[in-house]
Structure 1
Amino acid sequence: MRLILSRKGFDSSAGGCPSPVLPDDALCVLPIPDSQSRIRYDNVLFEQRRLGKIARDLSGGRIRGGHGAHLDPDLMAGAYPRQEGWRPVLGQTGSAQGHLRNQGVEPGDLFLFFGVFRRAEMHNRRWRFVPGSRPFHAIWGWLHVGQIHTIDELAPCALPWARYHPHFHGQPDAGNTLYESSIACQLPTGAEVFSGSGVFPKLRDELVLTDPHSRLPTRWRLPAAFYPGDDRPPLSYHTKTDRWQLKSPWCYLNCAARGQEFVLNLDAYPDLTGWLAGLLRTGRGTGS
């Protein structure tokens, strides 16, 4: 099994700001803008809140409720109206998809989605980031790959429930790929069965990737089991040894500022199974 740490949601370049952590500690992921998407921010719900107002307030009006939203990955059943038969999905293309292909990502592999977040509050009937708070990286969802579809090779009648998705509304693209969630997920050497996809509804310390003592979101503190060795290849995009520092029970990583998909071969990192299981136990599976 491969683990893919996948960067998704608003950031300084796509959207112009972090996604918010709401006052109740909810991780509210804002999908990036997409002028070709048929999905509008005002049509996407997060715990009964429409994303349009949140995105407009926090972006300073750059993003509005009527703008197109790239709802991807799309993990929660209640977020948007869809056809019967819907399954959670992730779309990918371009160099990021090329990297996933070159890394051999296949059915049975596991995406963990992370993004940049910052605490937010309501002030004078508008959302704002809490003054003095800092942005940080945190894990917010997962998708265990059940099937992989090359979109341009699909028959016109295939996957009718997925046709709303933004990756069906761009230009022809031989690399345009859709990752469909499995029903269930079982980790290597583990007996527990988890939902094939879902989100982590509330911020917890275990979900935070950024070193709590760092001012930089890209300075990560990970379990020591992530630390690469001579007999196990490091997380992709992070092959230089000077990016890593081991101080048990943690290891520290200067995370690449660019790149969306970071791949790790879990067969070489069996000690991470317990950490992953601990995360998935606290998640909210799709449909629950």
Structure 2
Amino acid sequence: MKRYWLDSRGTWWRLFILLVLNVNPGWPAFSDAPLSTAPLGMGYATTAVTENIHAIYTNPAALAQMYGMAASMDYTQRYGLSELAHTQIMGAVSTNLGAIGLSYNQLGEDLYQERLVVGTYAYEVRHDLSLGLSLRGYQLDVAQYGESTTFGVDAGILLRPRPEVRLGFKAHNLNRPEIGVTHDPLPHSLTLGVAYVPRSNVVVGIDAFKDLDFPISYRAGVEYKPVPALALRAGVQTEPGQFSVGAGFYHRFLQIDYARVSHPKLGETNYWGLMIHWAE
């Protein structure tokens, strides 16, 4: 009886994952669903916005703009389901030879689990130009099917044509990696973003995101700091249509973030993040 319950639960779990992540039933593939809490509060329109440890995922080139050392952790249960628990841990350091970042990301539980390790290097070529590269190690573990591993490469560019304007570009999984027994391709996407900083306490981000297998998605977000200790965020995106809100709380070297993202069909997800930043 116990074995039948586990087999049945595993079957329903795999079906649910296929519906949520919209992937091939041969092997559930990694989605492009982000976890970084602060960028999510801005609708993830942050390819040219983020210049801290979260650049490991938003745009590897922007990590070159980080100073000192930083560590962070983000957590969510997607759509309120404990089976879709998602955890992300990151660390980064800035050196005279560039910035280096490392991240571990895990989604799921014993029956189904995605693990991702990312190593990032970014270098400021000039005061107005940064380049970045990330090596991504993917591991997929599905009960009764075993494990599968593959590697991907991301590249990014960050430009500053004017002090108040930043342009960002990110290419995700340039090498078109595949995973699983059926060699399902992992998401391959291109993102172009612009950030506008009209004042020191306001930043606006706009992104165009194109997964090569899906329609283009447009994203827009804003962050406003009414006082230095508080950031208010909001964002929207298309394909799918989503709305997000968030907030950040700052105290010395500590930052606590919250975001809430509303999906048109799957409901709402709450995200929590903690970051510690030691400036030089």
TM-score under structure 1 length normalisation = 0.27
More helix as a share of residues: 1
**TM-score w.r.t. structure 2 length?**
0.28
Higher strand proportion: 2
